[in-house]
Structure 1
Amino acid sequence: MSGLTVRELHDLPDLEAVDSLFSRIWGAGPGGSPMGVEQMRALSHAGNYVAGAYADGRLVGATVAFFAAPVGQALHSHVTGALPGHAAGLALKRHQRAWALDRGLSRITWTYDPLVRRNAHFNLTKLGARPVEYLTGFYGPMDDAINGGDDTDRALCSWELSDPAVVAAAASAPLPVTVPDGAVTALAARDGLPVTGRLDAPALLVEVPPDIEALRRTDPGAAKAWRLALREVLGGLLATGATVTGFDDRTSYVVVRDTTP
């Protein structure tokens, strides 16, 4: 992240640059950015968080967040976008964490597509956040370059800012992932399609496809099958109180069920 500068943004020219960056990343036409200039201007003016990451003076990433419930404790990070090759996403999250701690907040939440491997690895392994809820069709239909018309199921992440694991991750290294002895496969990839296994074991591995975004373009039927399978398996496990403890080998969620009678 050397050479990167992250700063809060308030002025219209800066916010217009963020809008253009978001439109480029999401592949949207004019007015199709996931967060418009007017909304960013209002949020920033009201004391919420809008920040950009710059490499050699060029905007390469940005994020927008707003205060959330519980009041005085949480920030919700609504949208973050970054160009590849700059580690801007990590720099933005570390800046966002410091900003929240300076204001006495203890938690940041956000949503992400749980089918996207790189996002799961980033959120769970690099940051130490944890999915706490599965949200079905959360944003409704979104036909941009990233979502490709797929159902917008999302995992709600909770980032407990003072948790020792989060503090360690923020300082330097990715978190080690421990797979409990006897863990069984609850969802696996076979010939590109999802195959459901056992769901009753104390520890489970829930695999996601290597590149769901490419799969949406090349085989929409397979992409849909993965969406429905993950909704049933991971969504069902979270709904019954299971805990996601990590993301193993950049392929699979590690999930632990409470088997106490």
Structure 2
Amino acid sequence: MNGATVRELHLMEDFEAVSLLYADIWGSEPGDSPISGEIMRALSHAGNYVAGAYEGGRLVGASVAFLGEPIGTSLHSHITGAVMGHGVGLALKMHQRQWALARRLTRITWTYDPLIRRNAYFNLVKLGARPEEYLTSFYGAMDDAINGGDESDRVLAAWYLTEPTPSPLEVTELPTGAAHRVLNREGRPEIAKTDAETVLVDLPDDIEALRRTDPGAARAWRLAVRETLGDLLTEGARVVGLHERRRYVIQRTASHP
């Protein structure tokens, strides 16, 4: 993990350092961090998960999670932030996994923005998590450097810890007959109707840059993926993988041809 050391945090000074790190990552003012040191202190004291990743004694990432339902089986990872390009996010997730297994938990859930390609790749391919639910504007509009005022649609991903080795959801060859519901047409989404059993939903090349340079196009992507991926998951379809790091591969169930 490139020398990153991950440990649980218990001191107020550590929680305050995490809050400042999160503010820097999300581009918000120090007093408007995504989570305060006081909340982390309370969660940790109540037996939940708060951990930091360090390189050379410097805080480079952190993760906050709390126990969820079904009680005694599930941990919900609320927020994880890390310096990019250091393998810190993976180190945090593996530490979180071991923490959960030591408490006989069987799954970890978290939400992620389905439009951010690197997050989709990390969750589905690097970790083998399964997208289970589409959550429309889960946190409302979020006006920070990452979300840019966009509505906070999220996908709930589940990581099943009882699998000896989670299967990465990377698709190298598309099934015969796979068809697009959303196609990336010169940077904008194009929605098509299809009755194909395997459905493809393209993603924008860089939604975070698009939110800064072309908010209208970013909004079009949000609505297109909400209408397609969101509806398919609601119908019971399953995301079976990611193809070329740029499109979801979705399998319809037999009851939804």
Contact 1:62 1:92 in 2 (8 A): yes
* Structure 2 residue 137 is matched with structure 1 residue 137: yes
Tell me which residue corresponds to 2:246: 251
Tell me which residue corresponds to 2:2: 2
Match of residue 232, structure 1, among 215, 227, 230: 227
Contact 2:19 2:30 in 1 (8 A): no
Give the whole-Å Cα distance in 2 for the aligned partners of 1:76 and 1:132.
Answer: 14
Tell me which residue corresponds to 1:217: 212
Query: Post-superposition shift, 1:176?
Result: 4.0
Partner secondary structure for residue 67 of structure 1: strand
Aligned identity (percent) is: 63
Tell me which residue corresponds to 2:171: 177
Query: Post-superposition shift, 1:245?
Result: 0.9
Query: Post-superposition shift, 1:165?
Result: 4.5
Amino acid at match of 1:193: R
Query: Post-superposition shift, 1:26?
Result: 0.4
Amino acid at match of 2:222: R
Structure 1 residues 191-206: aligned runs within 5 Å: 191-206=186-201
Partner secondary structure for residue 23 of structure 2: helix
Contact 2:124 2:170 in 1 (8 A): no
TM-score (norm 2): 0.96
Give the whole-Å Cα distance in 2 for the aligned partners of 1:4 and 1:199.
Answer: 46
Q: Deviations over 1:219-242 (max 9, x none)?
A: 000000000000000001000000
Q: Deviations over 1:11-57 (max 9, x none)?
A: 01111110110000000113211110010000001110000111111
Amino acid at match of 2:105: L
Which piece of structure 1 moves more, 187-196 or 118-127?
187-196
Contact 2:6 2:54 in 1 (8 A): yes
Amino acid at match of 2:62: A
Give the whole-Å Cα distance in 1 for the aligned partners of 2:134 and 2:31.
Answer: 29
TM-score (norm 1): 0.94
Structure 1 residues 32-71: aligned runs within 5 Å: 32-71=32-71
Gap change, CA 1:165 and 1:205, over 3 Å in 2: farther
Partner secondary structure for residue 95 of structure 1: helix
Q: Deviations over 1:63-117 (max 9, x none)?
A: 0000000000000000000011211000000000010001000010000100000
Gap change, CA 1:176 and 1:120, over 3 Å in 2: closer
Quote the RMSD (CA, aligned, Å): 1.3
Give the whole-Å Cα distance in 2 for the aligned partners of 1:126 and 1:30.
Answer: 31
Query: Post-superposition shift, 1:162?
Result: 1.7
Give the whole-Å Cα distance in 2 for the aligned partners of 1:175 and 1:238.
Answer: 16
Amino acid at match of 2:29: G
Contact 1:165 1:175 in 2 (8 A): no
Gap change, CA 1:16 and 1:217, over 3 Å in 2: same
Q: Deviations over 1:144-196 (max 9, x none)?
A: 11110001100011111122441x6xxxxx55425322211111111211001
Structure 2: which 5+ residue stretches go unaligned?
none
Query: Post-superposition shift, 1:200?
Result: 1.9
Give the whole-Å Cα distance in 1 for the aligned partners of 2:23 and 2:74.
Answer: 28
Contact 1:184 1:198 in 2 (8 A): no
Contact 1:245 1:254 in 2 (8 A): yes
Report how many aligned residue pairs link the two structures: 255
Structure 1: which 5+ residue stretches go unaligned?
169-173
Gap change, CA 1:148 and 1:115, over 3 Å in 2: same
Query: Post-superposition shift, 1:199?
Result: 3.6
Give the whole-Å Cα distance in 2 for the aligned partners of 1:199 and 1:113.
Answer: 25
Amino acid at match of 1:177: V
